[in-house]
Structure 1
Amino acid sequence: MSDKEKAMQQWMKEVNVDVTCLQSKANVFYFSDFYTDPHERLVALFLFQDETQIPLMVCPSMEVNQARDTGFKGEVIGYHDHEDPWQLVKKAIESRGIGVKKVGVEKQEMSLARAEQLSEVFAGVDIVRADEQVHALRKVKSENEIDALRKAAKLADYGVQIGIESLELGKTEVEVLADIEAALKKKNVVGMSFSTMVLFGEKTSDPHGNPGNRRLQRGDFVLFDLGVIIDGYCSDITRTVVYGEANEKQREVYETVLRAQNETLARCQAGTQIGELDKTARKLIEGAGYGQYFPHRIGHGLGIDVHEAPSMHEHNKETLVDGMAFTIEPGIYHPEIGGVRIEDDVVIENGNAVCLTNFPKELQIINESD
């Protein structure tokens, strides 16, 4: 039994939960090493308080072999599309002779339809929230998880380098994006953490802009935001450069964001309240006169999901501990000047921050000859 399962069982004993039902892709992977995108089909993992009961997984029959190939030690039940998987779950649990009075679920992940189906399987039981406990476990990464994050971060650095090398006057955002992802595929990257973002000029002032057919011009800010998935774990990096030449305002905005990130990174130590990190960056950006153009939190947790706990906002009173992995990504998005964001992946090790992404951060002016 893994340490993760033992920790969940201990929690289940403390709150008297008999069974925990997990059906988010990330949480199923976390406890089983089986990752799949079942679309509308059910994939669920059931963990039991009783230490003599092995975990139970239900998945489409066409994915049973993949689930077993991961080395998953529990019972796997496959179902065909014409079958009701919940009835198979009910039969399997009843055959174990387990009395179920309280079930833990992922409140934020479970749809109303599935909650109703679960209530039919476990008629009359209490349903309680279990996702907060799972998130608490996932916040603190093991060495193996950190190794995967480190590998993913290295390839994210490479993706930015490819993007910069791809820049040419008149080239479109999506053409540069295609060059990045093609190069990463050649490095055996199977999936991106999220939709790759390449934005030029005025489009950089939208924090979550959509790449399109905007063509590169001299004097443009160019913003890259990308990440890859390695061994089930995500990276997430943002870098901003200028193509051709940078004006005074562009330099001012860039240097403000860079100072904000550097000062925030310096405060990333075990014992520091997460909210203080956001306040550090926000105070500096506000002091430079750009506070209204920094509309988001300083960062987010990073792991199996590219956005996971903890949420790095100014009101979060949690403290950093060894093993936490997260991003630090201040930004300024000015409608007339353009947008700058600098984002790195960070892990707390031996009390201090270690940046996993290491692409250079000093302002780069990219010329055609480069």
Structure 2
Amino acid sequence: MIKEAALKWIPERFEELVRYGHFQGPGEAIANEEYKARVELANKKIEEEGLDALIVFGDCYRMSNIRWLVNYRTIDGVYPQPMLMYLVPGRDPVLFLPSSEIPSAHGSSAMKVLGEDIREIRSEWAPFLKERAEKDKPKKVGISGWAFMDLEFWFPINDALYEADIQRSHIIENLKSVKNDAEIASMRRAARVSDAGIQMLMDLLRDSEGITELEATSLVYAAMFANGGHSIAYDIMIQAGEHTDVLFKRPTERPINRGDLVMMDYGIRVNDYASDNARTICYGNVTDEAKRIMEACSLGYEDCLQKIQAGMTGIEADRVIKEAFQKYGVAEYLVEVSEGRTGAHATGMDPEEEIPEIGPACDNVLQENQTFAYELSLIVPGIGGVRTEDQVIVRKNGLEPLHTFNRFLYVD
């Protein structure tokens, strides 16, 4: 379905992307001493909350809790390789990994300055907990990452620490939500790299009417990797025409034709920090109503950039968004996702992290240098759906977008 005109310019475009891609990022390195300081800070919070120990869970997809502490992420695979950490104030942390990952962790993680106590996760987790229960007799233990912890690791916790009060904890989730300069530098570069993805889609639409959603998806991925992406952040979505009637849909063999609204949610990782963006393109002669909702979504989005500020609660920020969309006459079409938030979600190493959130029941307070994906979607029955999304940094005077690609997109 890719027209000859596009096939001719694609090699030249990739050559340009590779030549001018964002492959180097000064200021992105984080020293092992920083990770050591993070573990010390976590231990301080553990003491302040009256916990005897903190268990931290992660895996190759939800890796940010562990990686924030010790700079290690397991390898993506058919099975999501798990990670566990056991923290007790005054002691070196203990990291649990699959046996295949342990040599890598010794060589590349910050555990080399944190005692290097790395153990096999499946054979040693249960015996370790029983030993700790007998020797330490912990009365109160927190779990960070409880929302996605595998049951295979919960059962040994329940068996060994049955006399302890096991609590859900947000210690690590809160600490990692505020990004330092090096983290923001990686996120900023990931955002710049993702520009190649949306530009590739627009170029394809100009020269290749009838290209399928799947074909376009492959080339968008390729463009972002050619521009300096390191790994996939999440499954990107290209949805055209009637496929925009739902919030999320995997790309299909549907041809993309003029007259369609075309929505893309796209991201890439740099240094294991993820970008997360979305744009909607009016392709050809779309209906006036389709054009109106795309523009209203982006106008409402931009209205809120300076109004949502550090110090606001997620509830107050939600109110600001609702008022802006009411102003443009589209508030009734604003889609709230199933988690009870108004689109926006925390982000950083993982495309979706836990804190902060914006929604009618989200009472967390926005803090300076927190980052989240500011995502707003409208779905109008019979017309279609649109989305505008960028990662932003919370500042005292508003939100600073990391991804600044034009939000009002038209392809003839």
When normalised by structure 2's length, the TM-score is 0.80
**Deviation of residue 361 (structure 1)?**
1.4
Superposition pairs of residues 261-276 of structure 1, within 5 angstroms = 261-276=301-316
CA distance in 1, matches of 2:292, 2:42: 49
The alpha-carbon distance between structure 1 residues 116 and 220, as it changes in their structure 2 partners (threshold 3 A), is: same
CA distance in 2, matches of 1:60, 1:251: 51
CA distance in 1, matches of 2:131, 2:116: 9
Superposition pairs of residues 219-368 of structure 1, within 5 angstroms = 219-296=259-336, 297-308=342-353, 309-349=355-395, 351-362=397-408, 364-367=409-412
The alpha-carbon distance between structure 1 residues 304 and 215, as it changes in their structure 2 partners (threshold 3 A), is: same
CA deviations 1:218-247 (Å, max 9, x no partner) are 111111111111222211110111222233
CA distance in 2, matches of 1:75, 1:126: 29
| Equivalent pair of 2:190/2:229 in contact (CA under 8 Å) | no
**Deviation of residue 115 (structure 1)?**
2.1
| Equivalent pair of 1:249/1:337 in contact (CA under 8 Å) | yes
CA deviations 1:135-185 (Å, max 9, x no partner) are 111221111211111111111222111121122211100000000111222
The alpha-carbon distance between structure 1 residues 41 and 349, as it changes in their structure 2 partners (threshold 3 A), is: closer
Q: What percentage of residue pairs aligned between the two structures are identical?
A: 25
Superposition pairs of residues 111-260 of structure 1, within 5 angstroms = 111-122=150-161, 124-130=163-169, 132-167=170-205, 168-260=208-300
CA distance in 1, matches of 2:388, 2:123: 48
CA distance in 2, matches of 1:254, 1:18: 52
**Deviation of residue 111 (structure 1)?**
4.0
CA distance in 2, matches of 1:133, 1:240: 37
Name the residue aligned to 1:12.
46
| Equivalent pair of 1:17/1:49 in contact (CA under 8 Å) | no
CA deviations 1:64-106 (Å, max 9, x no partner) are 12111223233343439xx6222453487589x6553332213
CA distance in 2, matches of 1:317, 1:190: 35
CA distance in 2, matches of 1:112, 1:70: 26
- Count, aligned residues: 360
Letter in 2 for 1:333: I
CA distance in 1, matches of 2:359, 2:286: 31
Structure whose residues are more often helix by fraction: 2
Aligned to 1:312, the other structure's residue is in SS state coil
When normalised by structure 1's length, the TM-score is 0.89
- Aligned CA RMSD, in angstroms, stands at 2.4
Pick the aligned partner of 1:74 from 112, 115, 120.
115
Letter in 2 for 1:79: E
